[in-house]
Amino acid sequence: MKTLLSIGHGYSAQALARVLLPQGWRIIGTTRSARTAAQIAATGVEPLIWPGEDLPFEQATHLLSSVAPDEAGDPVLRACAGRIAAARFDWVGYLSTVGVYGDHDGGWVDEDTQPAPATERGRARIAAEAAWSAVQPVHVFRLAGIYGPGRGPFAKVKAGTARRIVKPGQVFSRIHVDDIAQVLAASIAAPHPGRLYNVCDDEPAPPEDVLAFAAELLHLPVPPAEDFATARMSPMARSFYAENKRVRNDRIRQELGVRLLYPDYLVGLRALALAGA
């Protein structure tokens, strides 16, 4: 039986599970809390509390890590690098971020662009990518901003907490969670160990446009625009605007044959609105 060990079985990995489970896969998903473990079990995934319980690498044919690095590096490798290196998997995936590319003043980047992260988070991700590659031939997936059911601009617009921060020329790339799942599934079906993929849609867009469109779909007032230069923001929130780039996704289409379900935020948000998500 094909068995996926999903370490850090969160939002994106759960979407992949919804693709694989109907195909007869066994999926073991780790979480840090008993409450989340019960929720995972209800989806047909075998929950495992980690850190805590032993990770069954020997039972897994496929391995996916969604765990972010911390101040000391990658937590999974810190605890289990030796066992992972000794295991024989058909496929290994690591979820990273397009934040590793840093700032390109709105210009385009692709997988051949030299990473130049502008934040500590980005630098930690580059280090984690390298660490995983040294342990196992890994597929690295650099994800853009994730949205989907239960995650996106609708909740903030409904709550009246959405802020349309306007920084001239600023764009972000995005990806619907179901498209992440189909990219991962396509890679599993056609492994290319050592390969990395940008996972994003076709249309980078200004964040204020996305929020405005979400408000229009909900028939709610569009939040007023706020000038980035004078807006009161936390250092964390402001740091996201330090990087401005457009991310290309040619490789997932040409190499994996992926046809995006939601090629831009207009299609994605319309679908979420129709589904009441």
Report d(CA 119, CA 99) in Å as an integer: 8
Question: SS3 for 42-97, per residue?
Answer: CCCCEEEECCCCCCCHHHCCEEEECCCCECCECHHHHHHHHHHHHCCCCEEEEEEE
What is the 8-class DSSP label of residue 142? E
Would the pTM of this model clear 0.85, i.e. be above it? Answer: yes
Q: Is the pLDDT of residue 159 over 90?
A: no
Looking at residue 66, its pLDDT comes to: 98
Tokens of 81: 């690098």
CATH 3.40.50.620 fits 67-275, yes or no: no
Looking at residue 276, its pLDDT comes to: 83
Query: Which tens digit of pLDDT belongs to each residue from 200-237?
Result: 999 999 999 999 999 999 999 999 999 999 999 998 88
Q: Where exactly are the structural domains of the chain? A: 67-275
Query: Which tens digit of pLDDT belongs to each residue from 49-80?
Result: 999 999 999 999 999 999 999 999 999 999 99
Q: Is the pLDDT of residue 119 over 90?
A: no
Please enumerate in sequence order all residues whose Cβ is within 8 A of that of 159, keeping only pairs 6 or more positions apart, or say none.
none
Query: Which tens digit of pLDDT belongs to each residue from 31-57?
Result: 999 999 999 999 999 999 999 999 999
Report d(CA 12, CA 185) in Å as an integer: 12
